[in-house]
Structure 1
Amino acid sequence: MRPSLPAAQVLFETPLATQPAAEPLQRQLHQRLKLAILDGRLAPGNRLPGSRVLAEGLAISRNTVTAAYEHLAAEGYVQQDRQGTRVATLSRPARPRPVRDAAAVPQTARRLAQIQPTAPHADASSTLRPGVPALSHFPLAAWRRAYDQAIRRAGTAALGYGQPTGEPALRTAIARHLAIARGVRCEPAQIVITEGTQEALALCVRLLTNPGDTAWVEDPGYRGAKVAMQGGDLRVVPMRVDAEGLVLAESDWKAQPPRLVYTTPSHQYPAGAVLTVARRLDLIAQARRAGAWIIEDDYDSEFRHAGEPIGAMQGLVPQAPVLYVGSFSKTMFPSLRLGFLVLPEALVAELQTPLQEMLRGGHRYEQLAMAEFVESGQFSRHLGRMRRLYRDRQQALREALTRHLHLPHTIEGGHCGLHLTVRLPASYPDKAIAAAALPYGITPAPLSVFALQPLPQDNGLVLGYGNTSAELFEPLVQRLSQLALAARLTG
């Protein structure tokens, strides 16, 4: 800390800047005084010059000085009375000293140590990135009309907070769509609008678990689900998946009964398996006996490319202990940040008060526009166009892989969604291949990063075809094949 100096020396040592680009004189004077007080050059109790004296000494307006003094007094840096303006007594933090006792340093939450980095975040324009829809094919003109309609109808009334659980119009539109398209049994009152899937998952954790509870997650599986569970201080237990989806044994329910079970039954992420009806019914029955809740993440099942759509597990039996989660990130566009959570009917009354207190309404025009987009039929027409586009792109990617990926591999992912998973022998390290592809603007995800407890077979690449043109697949796969052969482990 500098030694304290007379106020006049501090204030008159350099003139204030008066050039046209300089900050206003009042702000300059305020900053000079504040910094001098904070670093100790103006000591507590020092009297500052009167406004007239200071104004004359600095060749500025007396009103400018008065305004600066009043601002400092409002912030607590100085005290004003009939005798003038004096520097206030402030508690200053001690100088930083070498850290000897880690317990004396403020710490972040211990749970954060569980959250590990996976793959670098890539630009949406990069190729083969999983999870990105065909942005250039989105009907912006139709969306603009729906948005304009929402503004005209709602006017300034929608500038307020709105209902915490979301706009009634959107909840009604979602309930109708889910009943027809996904076989979900629900009323609008069961739906909570969220800011995407991640908020819906975090809300499930906050509403239904206590720290230390056990949560089962698919392995390999969606990283965001693991982060949501870890953020709630849950004991996260990875459960393996196979060609028929989540694998659960009778002994698992006895040895480590869960409070939550997270699953993607209609299109397992990222391997693509469909959870068989036998396993679905068994999961529901076992969860009922254990008092557990199932989170069904139906992230991209609108895009089924072969056969009839796979129905949601939520509607399989009445009163299933299933919380159904969805979003518009894949069906519309990611930056919309609109998702939804369908609560079991048995929880609606009990959770009303917590939801009213925990949530705040928002994004009202976007919600109203989405409701208009759904009810007008634009949403269904858009989904139809995208299904055809993604079906063609998936087929083109499969053909490119067959022709140009010159190493042992198997293609998984089913006939659904926006990505394919290519399993590779462990001698072709997926992380090294993905890192080598990044400078070329190619951003597949390594399969191994989706596993909490990776096994040798969890090696491969998750290739997104949603936002990559089909004519690019052949040169991209050729490049990946070259990179994979170069990254091959020897010996």
Structure 2
Amino acid sequence: MLEAPLDKDVAAAPMQRQLYRRIKDAILSGGLVAGSRLPGSRALADALSISRNTVTAAYDLLAAEGYVQPDRQGTRVAALSRPPPVRATPAAPSAPLIAQRLARIQPSAPRTAASVVLRPGVPALSHFPLAAWRRALDRALRHAGAAALGYGDPLGEPALRTAIARHLSMARGVRCDPAQVIITEGAQEALLLCVRLLSNPGDTGWVEDPGYRGAKAAMHAGDLRIVPMRVDGDGLVVTEDDWKTRPPRLIYTTPSHQYPAGAVLTVARRLELIAQARRRQAWIIEDDYDSEFRHAGESIGAMQGLVEQAPVLYVGTFSKTMFPSLRLGFLVLPAVLLAPMQIPLEEMLRGGHRYEQLALAEFIESGQFSRHLGRMRRLYRDRQQALRDALQRHLRLPHAIEGGHCGLHLTLRLPACYPDRKIAEAARRYGIAPSPLSGFALHPMAEDNGLVLGYGNTPAELFEPLVRRLSLLARAADIS
């Protein structure tokens, strides 16, 4: 077994590595049993026509990893506990043991490239000011130097936390100082932090339904009992009976632009939600989704800033306002949580993306960020109107348009005879990527049938042919 010639071709692995692997495989397969003695290094070298140093090096590596044990009489195979052999044709394949909570996380829509048209949630990447961003990165590299190669503040670069706090105060009416701002790897990490920091397995979490799938995934990962809460034209619907019969620990909402239906949570509902959360010792997670891109009138202020010391954790991301691969978001903690959360956050987070954080801080403070947002608002406003016009002219079936005058998408409600998942699947074959509305609901109802159409990444001149194609696909899917 060991005396078979080694491969001496120059393209093969080094002979030391070949010999090591051959002996290791023989030990693991049982060909070399525990206690058996290996040939002496000189004898094996002569048998294989290789140098004794090669054999010695292979034996030394096997000994270092515990496969063999050298002693005065030579080198013996160590006693190892081997796993049972894998049968060639198992009677029944068994699933790997994973956390049970993971089975409750449902798949989202199939992944598609960012360039695919009508995909929701993708900004106009070709309009991002790359030259200005490159200059900001260059300045960050030049000024921070090698010092920023190490771990930074686990809670985020102070310069970025300060810039975000100032921007949120002016643009969103958020009440915070830089110490309350925690930098995260996108909004999803912020949601996971909320669940980890403020809930225990078995606690109840309310989520909008239909609503953001990432919030549901974060709560499932925390082993929460998820209660889907319906939404209407005024946002999240909560009754007194809900508070009595299924009181939550966490409440997830998108009050400024409900995702995906687009409703704005009314101030009366906001104030009632805050008051009840205080009374019941619950926490509200406010995901300020798409709030920067309001196309009509003044921007809707954040719920967090409505009253002092609101029990609201404010979540935001730069995936839409900058670009998705930046992977920077933030979480604004209520001041009352700063002291108890300081040590857990410092132990759970490590800091990173330091040059990107510093560049983003400079991008915000220099005014580049605000100018970029202004340009994008105008672009998205024009694209949304163009999509509305195309739907009105070319969608030849009953429908209702939702989504408000904000964000990067519109939502179509369709009669149940036009199955949204079937239409979306057919559209993907033509390089079109709308999301089925029913996929955003934990327990879809008849009214949750429709399509979520992203217009952020799609030029306006394409909307008419795309809508005509969708109209044909919808009629072909008709099951009435």
Q: How does 1:87-166 map to 2 (within 5 A)?
A: 87-96=77-86, 107-166=97-156
Q: Distance in 1 between matches of 2:197 and 2:154?
A: 15
What pairs with 1:188-203 in structure 2 (closer than 5 Å)? 188-203=178-193
| Match among 266, 273, 279 for residue 256 of structure 2 | 266
> Does residue 373 of structure 2 align to residue 362 of structure 1?
no
Give me the CA root mean square deviation.
Answer: 1.4
Distance in 2, matches of 1:305 and 1:86, equals 77
Q: Distance in 2 between matches of 1:335 and 1:245?
A: 30
Is 2:157 the counterpart of 1:167?
yes
Deviation at residue 83 of structure 1 after TM alignment = 2.1
Equivalence for 2:214: 224
1:93-146 CA distances to partner (integer Å, 9 max, x unpaired)?
Answer: 1234767998xx862111112112232111111110000001111111111111
Residue in 2 aligned with 1:249? 239
Instruction: Give the Cα–Cα distance (whole angstroms) in 1 for the partners of residues 448 and 257 of structure 2.
Output: 18
Tell me the equivalent position of 1:398: 388
Alignment match of 1:29 (pick from 19, 28, 34): 19
Provide the rounded CA distance (Å) in 1 between the counterparts of 2:157 and 2:302.
Answer: 24
Which of residues 231, 234, 239 in structure 1 aligns to 2:229? 239
Query: Cα deviations across residues 173-201 of structure 1 (Å, max 9, x unaligned)?
Result: 11011111111110111011111111110
C-alpha distance in 1 between matches for 2:265 and 2:2: 75
Matched, 1:185 2:175: yes
Q: How many Å apart are 1:360 and its aligned residue?
A: 1.2
Task: Select between 106-115 and 335-344 the one with higher mean Cα deviation.
Answer: 106-115
Q: CA deviation at 1:357?
A: 1.3
2:292 alignment counterpart: 302
* C-alpha contact 1:447 1:462 (8 A) present in aligned 2: yes
Partner SS state of residue 297, structure 2:
coil
- Report the secondary structure of 1:216's partner residue: strand
1:11 and 2:2 matched: yes
Aligned residue for 1:440, secondary structure, equals coil
* 3-state SS of paired residue (2:401): strand
> Where does the alignment leave 5 or more consecutive residues of structure 2 unmatched?
none
Residue matched to 1:335: 325
Aligned equivalent of 1:483, options 464, 473, 476: 473
Task: Note the 1:379-390 alignment, pairs <5 A.
Answer: 379-390=369-380
What does residue 5 of structure 1 align with?
none
Once the two structures are superposed, residues 15-52 of structure 1 have per-residue CA deviations (whole angstroms, 9 ceiling, x without a partner) of: 11112211111111111111111101111112112222
| Residue 413 of structure 2: aligned partner | 423
Which residue of structure 2 aligns with residue 378 of structure 1?
368
Displacement of 1:479 in angstroms is: 0.4
Residue 453 of structure 2 aligns to a residue whose secondary structure is strand
Shift in CA distance, 117/478, structure 1 to aligned 2, threshold 3 Å? same
Q: Does 1:312 align with 2:302?
A: yes
Q: What is the CA distance between 1:455 and its match in structure 2? A: 1.2
What are the superposed Cα offsets for residues 31-78 of structure 1, whole Å, 9 maximum, x if unpaired? Answer: 111111110111111211222222222122222211111111111111
Structure 1 residue 447 displacement after superposition: 0.4
Asked if 2 retains the 8 angstrom alpha-carbon contact of 1:299 and 1:330, the reply is no
Structure 2 Cα separation of the partners of residues 99 and 345 of structure 1: 58
Secondary structure of residue in 2 paired with 1:145: helix
Structure 2 residue matching 1:127: 3-state secondary structure = coil
Deviation at 1:489, TM superposition (A): 0.8
Does the CA contact (< 8 Å) of 1:80 and 1:86 recur in 2?
Answer: yes
- Alpha-carbon distance, 1:81 to partner: 2.2
Q: State the match for 1:81 in structure 2.
A: 71
Instruction: Output the TM-score relative to the length of structure 2.
Output: 0.97
> Percent sequence identity over matched residues?
77
Give the distance between the partners of 1:48 and 1:148, measured in 2 at CA.
Answer: 59
Return the alpha-carbon distance in structure 1 between the equivalents of residues 143 and 246 of structure 2. 52
**TM-score, scaled to structure 1:** 0.95
1:433-466 superposed Cα distances (whole Å, 9 cap, x missing partner): 0001011110100001111121111110000001
| CA deviation after TM superposition for structure 1 residue 299, in Å | 1.9
Amino acid at match of 2:155: T
Counterpart residue number, 1:287: 277
Deviations 1:181-234 (A, max 9, x none): 111110111011111111110110000001111111001100110111111111
- Distance in 2, matches of 1:385 and 1:56, equals 76
Point out where structure 1 has 5 or more consecutive residues left out of the alignment. 1-9
Query: Which residue type is aligned with residue 66 of structure 1?
Result: T
Distance 1:33 1:181 in 2: 67
1:84 and 1:472 mapped to 2: Cα distance?
77
**AA partner of residue 465 (structure 2):** P
Aligned equivalents of 1:184 and 1:66: distance in 2? Answer: 68
Aligned length: 478
User: Residues 246-294 of structure 1, C-alpha deviation per residue, up to 9 Å, x if partnerless?
Assistant: 1111121111111111000000000000011111111111111111100
